[in-house]
């Protein structure tokens, strides 16, 4: 149903990431160079990222990208499902359900987290069935390609 990504999966990964970022699941695409940066990091180490390729039988059909951090609030490791994409023809076959069950069974994870567009009702229903709760607050970010380069934070000096 799913397996860890390998170096041989690069073209497949890039195809699925591109499909994900050009779907209704996201507000806007990210720079294509980020796909390559992410793949390189996946091949370098699993300290921050982990990726799984979904398969329906022997046929690849999607991916999930995870990142991890330590959360004082959760009291341990927090894993964020950064991206999850399954080709339309393979949806509804229990692949995502099996994947979430696998993640919930892993030892040492204090929190699972996922983002979803507000209007993606199907995904929200799935995530709620998997046990995810809606957070009562907004998140805010500054992305490197959007910030003013003259205002470099102290931790980057």
Domains of the chain by range and CATH? Answer: 2-156 (3.40.630.30)
Q: Where are the alpha helices (DSSP H) in the chain?
A: 10-21, 32-44, 95-105, 121-129
Mean pLDDT of 45-70: 97
Band of residue 42 on the pLDDT scale cut at 50, 70, 90? very high
Band of residue 153 on the pLDDT scale cut at 50, 70, 90? low
**CA 52 remoteness from chain centre:** 10
Q: What is the pTM of this model?
A: 0.88
How many angstroms separate the CA atoms of 133 and 55, rounded? 28
């Amino acid at each position: 149903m799913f397996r860890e990504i390998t170096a041989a999966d690069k073209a497949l990964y890039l195809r699925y990431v591109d499909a994900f970022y050009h779907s209704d699941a996201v507000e806007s695409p990210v720079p294509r160079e980020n796909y390559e940066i992410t793949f390189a990091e996946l091949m370098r180490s699993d300290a921050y990222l982990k990726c799984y390729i979904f398969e329906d039988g022997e046929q690849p059909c999607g991916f999930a990208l995870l990142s991890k951090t330590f959360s004082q609030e959760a009291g341990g490791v927090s894993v964020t499902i950064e991206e999850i994409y399954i080709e339309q023809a393979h949806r509804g076959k229990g692949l995502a359900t099996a994947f979430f069950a696998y993640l919930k069974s892993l030892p040492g994870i204090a929190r699972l987290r996922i983002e979803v567009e507000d209007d993606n009702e199907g995904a929200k229903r799935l995530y709620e069935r998997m046990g995810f709760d809606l957070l009562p607050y907004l998140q805010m970010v500054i992305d490197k390609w959007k910030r003013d380069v003259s205002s470099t934070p102290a931790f980057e000096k």
